[in-house]
């Protein structure tokens, strides 16, 4: 009897799959939060702030930098109606 070996190929990576893998892990956030804690003198009481800052930093670092960012529409400054002309 002959046996045939079938190999499965991984599906091609999509943008969604790539973005999903670039989300920082809880361990990475905890490590960075601890660094922030030490950088500000190891003062207790701001653990949540440290965590949120670490999460923001790592999430921003994980975003692709080569993608064009939408720019805000430019607007001319509004004239002050009360200023003398």
Q: pLDDT digit string (tens) for 43-83?
A: 999 999 999 999 999 999 887 665 555 566 566 656 665 65
What global pTM score does this model have?
A: 0.51
CB contact set of 47 (below 8 Å; sequence gap of 6+): 33, 37
Cα–chain center distance at 53: 11
- Domain boundaries in the chain? 21-61
Count the neighbouring beta carbons within 10 Å of the beta carbon of residue 24.
Answer: 17
The percentage of residues in the chain with a pLDDT greater than 70, rounded to a whole number, is: 49
């Amino acid at each position: 009897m002959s046996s045939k070996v079938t190999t499965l190929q991984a599906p091609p990576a999509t943008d969604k799959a790539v973005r999903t893998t670039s989300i920082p892990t809880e361990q990475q956030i905890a490590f960075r939060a601890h660094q922030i804690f030490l950088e500000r003198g190891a003062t207790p009481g701001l653990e949540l702030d440290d965590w949120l800052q670490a999460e923001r930093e790592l999430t921003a670092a994980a975003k692709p930098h080569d993608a064009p960012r939408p720019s805000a529409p430019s607007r001319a400054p509004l004239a002050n109606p009360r200023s003398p002309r």
